[in-house]
Structure 1
Amino acid sequence: MILGKKVRIFPTKEQEQKLWQSVGTARFIYNWTLARQEENYKNGGKFISDGNLRKELTILKKTEEFKWLNKVSNNVAKQAVKDACDAYKKFFKGLADKPRFKSRRKSKPSFYNDNLKLKVKDNAVLIEKVGWVTVKKNSIPLNWKYTNPRVSFDGKYWFLAVGIEKEQAIEGLTNESIGIDVGVKDLAICSNGMIFKNINKTRVIKQLEKKLRRLQRRVSSKYLKNKKGDKFVKTSNIIKLEKEIGLLHRKLKNIRNNYIHQTTATIVKTKPCRIVMETLNIKGMMKNKHLSKAIAKQCLYEFKRQIQYKCTFYGIEFVEADKWFPSSKLCSCCGNIKKDLKLSDRVYKCECGNVIDRDFQASINLSRYKLVG
């Protein structure tokens, strides 16, 4: 199984400048590919394959206007073309939305490094046309086959992410089946009694969000004060505040992501034979204007993604219950379905005398999914 390994790299100022050049090239070529595809489609043409676009790119690099593209690795541009074409293919298959042009301000700064040319030492990695960049000692295993190396910037530090093939840890699984009910009140409630609270309700997150709101108000007022006609002028103070806002967003994201990793690892390390979750319609859930912000903060899709790959690694069967399965409305004792159950009813009361928390009952019903579904 291929697992990702992400390590921090420590470039010098000169190396960092070259990394930014690679990032800019990758973004430019990605946008160029999208523009070529759209232009060709408007003129009645069909989808252009990435092979043909790469040939066009080779000719483009020879022109005086685009000679600067030769300053970075050739593989950066080639992979950007492939990424854009793959995005269109996923759109045609209905697996993703239509690809959009990458903004310099909003898009994630990243680029591809050829896996065959990636060399690793104890405390350094070789990145094409950048040189040997320092990393923490023994942070990347030596003499392994690396797949899809990507260099990225998270707003504060530079990172290198590579895929490393690892053997699956299939051993000592129990006969237990765990159902997981996720939500807004708590992140996850398991049928074995484990409850993982909503981290967004903690004091640390609330303080950071309060600080974030204050900074956003300050930036907004500065933009209004420096407005000239219909245009907003970006001053040095606004740039400083926006950088501080970006770092706060980064910190909040890392805290939430780390909590999800800890939660999913704790569940999987109980070594059940299978884990059952309900099918999550995230897009539909986000349409609820009263809960959309709370749902977005919970990162439910990321939770499900992590559970899935960790189940695969440990050899645990992962089951998604049908979205019409009445996990909350079904009585775990008598099997009666309470059709008039509202979202505000947090305690389930059945005619048979069963009184139970609705989320815990949902997790119990999910754990028995194959038996009743």
Structure 2
Amino acid sequence: MIRGKKVRLYPTPEQENLFWQFAGTARHIYNFTLNRQIENRKAGGKFISDGEIRKEITQLKKTDKYKWLKEISNNVPKQAVKDCCNAYKRFFNKQAKIPKFKSRKKSKPSFYNDSSKLKVEKNKVWLEKIGWIKIAENIIPISPYKYTNPRIIFDGKYWYISIGLKKDFEKIELSQEVIGIDLGIKMLAVCSNGMKSKNINKTKIVKKLEKRLRRLQRKISNKYEMNKNGKEYAKTSNIIKLEKQIRLLFRKLANIRLNHIHQETTKIVKIKPSKIVMETLNIKGMMKNKYLAKAVQNQCLYEFKRQIKYKCENYRIEFVEANRWFASSKICSKCKNKKPILSLSERIYKCEECGLEIDRDLNASINLSNYKVS
């Protein structure tokens, strides 16, 4: 099993400048490759392999316009070409939407470092054409060790190295308990054994940050209107400062939500059940409801499922996704009677057959724990 490690880097100002050059090169070559594929497709040509595009880039290095590529590690443009070609292949296989060009303002700066040329020692890592860089923690095994897909990423405030490490499965004795998990908006998750995970977005700290975010967004919107010149906006120093504050607030909120999901999923997995059953959520369909879209987005339901899934693999717990059309909320967990209609406003499930009164989310989670794959 490959587990990811993400560690903060402490580059010098000179090294940070190189980080930006490498990340800019990766973005430029990705866009160059995507443009070649799109233009070739319009002309009726077949898919261009990444090997052919790499040869083109090698020839471009000899020109005056692209001579700056010689200063960059050779593996950065190579991997950018490969990433773009893989994204284009997924589009043709109908596994994803057509890839988009990476924007200098909106895309996350990142680049690849060759795993064979990565060296790790105590409190530092060595990157190709950059040198030794201090790291925050000693959680990466020291060389010689096989590393997978090392990436250097900027999250809006700090630089990190993300790396994959091979890890053996842990041998853990599991109980015979089966846990059903119902995800929602009022509560993040309700388990069939009575465990509940709160909605972090309703806590005081998150509400305070969101209020501050709205205030800054109104402020920057007014400043844009003040500096409007026809259809264009003049970006002043104050606007740049406000944009940075907003970006850091979004980062802080995302980190709070991610940390909360990590804590809650770990609590569930550490019970060591033999099986975990979750419902299959139609997230795209839920996002179409304009009244619930923001709440669904902030709950990060897909991230919850992703984390439960890989943590189950680590503990060798069986993970099952119930059929999308399995009516877990409408079925009575006691007598199995199914209600034809159950509105979202009905928070207490009342069975007309056996008289059972139970929280609808707990009722759904119990039904999920009894789910059998047909």
Alpha-carbon distance between aligned partners in 2 of 1:136 and 1:347, rounded to the nearest angstrom: 49
- State the partner residue of 1:368: 370
- Distance in 2 between the 1:176 and 1:137 partners? 37
CA–CA distance in structure 2, aligned partners of residues 256 and 170 of structure 1:
30
Q: What is the CA deviation profile of residues 211-266 of structure 1, one whole-angstrom value per residue up to 9, with x for unaligned ones?
A: 00011111111111111222100001100110010000000000000000001000
Contact 1:175 1:273 in 2 (8 A): yes
CA distance in 2, matches of 1:238, 1:288: 33
Structure 1 counterpart of 2:155: 154
- In structure 2, the gaps of 5 or more residues are none
Looking at structure 2, the residues matched to 89 and 48 of structure 1 have their Cα atoms a distance apart, in angstroms, of 10
For 2:25 and 2:44, locate their aligned partners in 1 and report how far apart those are by CA, in whole Å. Answer: 29
* TM-score (normalised: structure 1): 0.98
CA contact 2:7–2:137 (8 Å) conserved in 1: no
Say if 1:369 and 1:137 are closer, same or farther in 2 by CA, change over 3 A.
closer
Residue 272 of structure 1 is matched in structure 2 by: 273
Checking the alignment, whether the CA contact within 8 Å between 1:178 and 1:275 is kept in structure 2 is yes
Q: Which residue number in structure 1 is paired with residue 262 of structure 2?
A: 261
1:97 to 2:97 alignment:
yes
Aligned to 2:226: 225
Q: What are the within-5 Å matches in structure 2 for residues 1-373 of structure 1?
A: 1-143=1-143, 144-351=145-352, 352-370=354-372
Quick one: distance in 1 between partners of 2:95 and 2:259?
Answer: 27
Give 1:55 shift.
1.0
Cα distance per residue 1:94-113 (max 9 Å; x no partner): 22111100111110111111
Counterparts of 1:313 and 1:41, CA distance in 2? 42
Aligned-pair CA distance for 1:62:
1.4
Q: CA RMSD in A?
A: 1.0
Task: Tell me if structure 2 keeps the 8 A contact 1:170–1:313.
Answer: no
3-state secondary structure, aligned to 2:98: coil
Residue 102 of structure 2 aligns to a residue whose secondary structure is coil
Question: C-alpha deviations, 1:25-63, integer Å up to 9, x for none?
Answer: 000011111100000011110111111111111111111
- Residues in 1 aligned to 2:309 and 2:90: alpha-carbon distance in whole angstroms: 21
* CA distances 1:70-127 after superposition (whole Å, capped 9, x unpaired): 2111111010011111111111222211110011111011111100000001011011
Between the aligned partners of 2:22 and 2:15, the Cα distance in structure 1 is 11
Q: Aligned with 1:277: secondary structure?
A: strand
Q: Which amino acid aligns with 1:334?
A: C
Q: Distance in 2 between matches of 1:280 and 1:246?
A: 30
Helix, strand or coil for the counterpart of 2:314? helix
CA offsets 1:108-156 (integer angstroms, 9 cap, x no match)? 1111110000000101101111111111352322132110000001111
1:84 corresponds to which letter in structure 2?
Answer: C
Check the 8 A contact 1:178/1:190 in 2, yes or no.
yes
Q: C-alpha distance in 2, partners of 1:121/1:287? A: 49
The CA distance in 1 between the partners of 2:270 and 2:334, in whole Å, is 29
Give the 4+ runs in structure 1 shifted more than 3 A.
none
Give me the whole-angstrom Cα distance separating, in 2, the residues matched to 1:294 and 1:270: 28
User: Which whole-Å CA distance do the structure 1 matches of 2:321 and 2:141 have between them?
Assistant: 35
Distance 1:37 1:26 in 2: 17
Task: Give the 3-state SS of the residue equivalent to 2:257 in structure 1.
Answer: helix
SS at match of 2:111: strand
CA distance in 2, matches of 1:280, 1:96: 18
**2: CA distance, partners of 1:260 / 1:280:** 17
Would the aligned equivalents of 2:123 and 2:135 in 1 still touch at CA under 8 Å? Answer: yes
Letter in 1 for 2:256: I
Give the share of equivalent positions with the same residue, in percent. Answer: 65
Give, in whole Å, the separation in 1 of the partners of 2:257 and 2:182.
Answer: 18
Cα offset, 1:170, TM superposition: 2.8
SS at match of 1:271: coil
Q: Work out the number of aligned pairs and report it.
A: 372
Unaligned residue ranges in structure 1 (runs of 5+): none
Range moving further from structure 2, 228-237 or 11-20? 228-237
Larger deviation, residues 248-257 vs 281-290: 281-290
Q: Which amino acid aligns with 1:182?
A: L
SS in 2 for 1:275: strand
Aligned mates of 2:308, 2:123 — CA distance in 1: 32
Q: Tell me the SS of whatever aligns to 2:117.
A: coil
Name which of structure 1's ranges 201-210 and 277-286 shifts more when overlaid on structure 2. 277-286
Q: In the aligned structure 1, how far is the partner of 2:61 from the partner of 2:192?
A: 59
Question: Counterpart of 2:278 in 1: which secondary structure?
Answer: strand
